[in-house]
A = this chain, B = another copy of it.
């Protein structure tokens, strides 16, 4: 481990992050909403800490190794999550406990979108803007880390993406190619956000709401500036725009990059993960719409709109709402919820286990059945035309098992804090999948549950965002041994 380099990276990260506190500060001054001091203090603390960490080691030069990659990735969300909570904690109007401030910040940065605050419509605009921006920043982190760093770490079969990123990472060192890759993806991310904001604005949102919701849509975050979420606008046009951008943001950003460079949708059409994802969106939305219609929950048009919106929102793990979906006939909320375990494509801002892994698990389950009938046949697993190496297959199994086991353990812990079954089940599911809204006591917000539960859920959000292994590996003595 090269701690000097890790500290250098961390120091720079904190200083960059501190700069992101200036836009809400400026907004607060401009709107005169009396919150600029919170952002100023948070900026000063964050910048000073970053500088203090960076200065002693700013001359350190080492190539980063795989092991450093794990630590940096884990620190990215946990340390930024900590400092990101400062404005919430300092704000007198929010009157948030440390736990609540941290929960909101981690929920924002991990793009989970679970909130402990209510009465959003009456909060200062600068705070609202800051929450949305947190998600957007978290989204950048995911895109860059998922495409540039995670494949190198080889977590849960994500080596598969290695050859498919614009700037391939061929060895285990962080090369300058990553900077290129990151730049290209950052550009795509910004472009998509602008496009989304423009569409929302044309669809009828105010400029402020359009930008704020574009932030949390492209980041698959799910924070809103209104308690009623997208339902506030009560507009089929905005719902349709939102559905489209949630769907689009759930696709691997490397594909967006190719599509943009080649001015064609060919790459989307031939990508097996993207096809699997689109197929399930179609099938699932159809089931949802049909069920809503035939149970008489809504008429045809509302079934169509709410059904497809909510299904895409939950499957992609965005977590926007237009209706109280936890009050739909019991089958539907849970079906949607189980799809959130799949989530969007790898290399997107979506949570969940990722489409690629679920696809591989299905293929392998089917191969096991084939093997029972033809025990001596050699049956390769293919994604598109490529055979998947056994090593990747095993890594995906491992990921699935550890994901499920982590879910179970945290579910039991939440029950032990005294929450009921549906609340515990859905809260852990919504957190580990970075989905956001749950059911039971956490259907509307997370403000009323106990503090230990909030801490467990913070851990769950980080665990999900860090693809489980990145975080778990830090808890093994092996990792810290030379």
Residues in chain A within 8 A of chain B (CB atoms): 66-67, 70, 153-156, 172, 330-331, 334-335, 338, 361, 364-365, 367-373, 375, 390, 393-395, 397-402, 404-405, 408, 411-412, 415-416, 418, 420-422, 425, 469, 472-473, 476, 478-479
Contact = CB atoms under 8 A, between A and B. Distances in A.
Contact of A397 (B172, B335, B372, B401): B401
A70 B375 CA distance: 13
A405 B372 contact: no
Copies in the complex: 2
A367 B375 CA distance: 26
A150 to B, nearest CB: 11
Contacts of A425: 421
A401 B338 contact: no
A402 to B, nearest CB: 5
A154 to B, nearest CB: 6
Nearest to A439: B421
B412 A365 contact: no
Contacts of A472: 369
Given A393-B394, A401-B397, A154 B421 contact: no
Given A153-B372, A369-B472, A373-B476, 16 more contacts: A330-B418, A331-B412, A334-B415, A361-B401, A364-B397, A365-B398, A365-B401, A365-B402, A368-B402, A369-B476, A371-B395, A373-B479, A397-B401, A400-B400, A400-B401, A422-B422
Nearest to A403: B365
A395 B421 contact: no
A391 to B, nearest CB: 9
Contacts of A416: 331
Contact of A365 (B172, B335, B405, B478): B405
B66 A364 contact: no
Contacts of A418: 330
A367 to B, nearest CB: 7
A331 to B, nearest CB: 4
A5 B422 CA distance: 50
Given A365-B398, A401-B365, A412-B331, A375 B478 contact: no
A93 B213 CA distance: 66
A385 to B, nearest CB: 22
B469 A368 contact: yes
Nearest to A172: B375
A241 B363 CA distance: 46
Nearest to A418: B330
Contacts of A479: 373
A371 B375 CA distance: 29
A479 B372 CA distance: 9
Nearest to A66: B375
* 9 A-B pairs with the lowest CB-CB distances in the bound complex, closest first: A368-B398, A397-B397, A331-B416, A331-B415, A365-B402, A361-B401, A330-B415, A365-B401, A372-B473
Nearest to A393: B394
Given A401-B397, A401-B400, A422-B421, A369 B334 contact: no
